[in-house]
Amino acid sequence: MPFAELNGVSIHYEATGTGTPLIFSHEFAGDSRSWKPQVESFAGDFQCVTWNYRGFPPSEVPQDRSQYSQDTLVEDLRALMDHLEIDRAHVAGLSMGGSVTLHFAMKYPERCLSAVVAGAGTGSSDRPQFEADIARIVELLESRSMPEFAEIYAQAPTRTPFLEKDRAGWDQFREYLGQHSTVGSANMMREVQLKRPTIFSLESQLAQLEVPTLIIIGDEDEPCVEPAIFMRRKIPSSGLVVLPQSGHTINLEEPELFNQAIRSFLEMVESGRWRTRGSVSTSMMPSNE
**Is the omega angle on the peptide bond into residue 58 within 30 degrees of 0, that is, cis?**
yes
Average pLDDT for residues 52-80, to the nearest whole number?
98
Average pLDDT for residues 3-14, to the nearest whole number?
98
The predicted pLDDT at position 100 comes to: 98
The predicted pLDDT at position 284 comes to: 47
**pLDDT, averaged across the chain:** 95
* Domains, in order of start, for the chain: 3-270 (3.40.50.1820)
The predicted pLDDT at position 279 comes to: 47
The predicted pLDDT at position 1 comes to: 86
Average pLDDT for residues 95-121, to the nearest whole number?
98
Residue 187 scores a pLDDT above 70: yes
The predicted pLDDT at position 269 comes to: 98
pLDDT tens digits along 238-285: 999 999 999 999 999 999 999 999 999 999 999 999 999 874 444 444
Q: What global pTM score does this model have?
A: 0.95
Q: What percent of the chain has pLDDT over 70?
A: 96
Average pLDDT for residues 6-21, to the nearest whole number?
98
The predicted pLDDT at position 278 comes to: 77
Question: Measured between alpha carbons, how far is 23 from 21 in angstroms, rounded to an integer?
Answer: 6
Average pLDDT for residues 61-87, to the nearest whole number?
98
173 confidence band (pLDDT: 50, 70, 90): very high
153 confidence band (pLDDT: 50, 70, 90): very high
168 confidence band (pLDDT: 50, 70, 90): very high
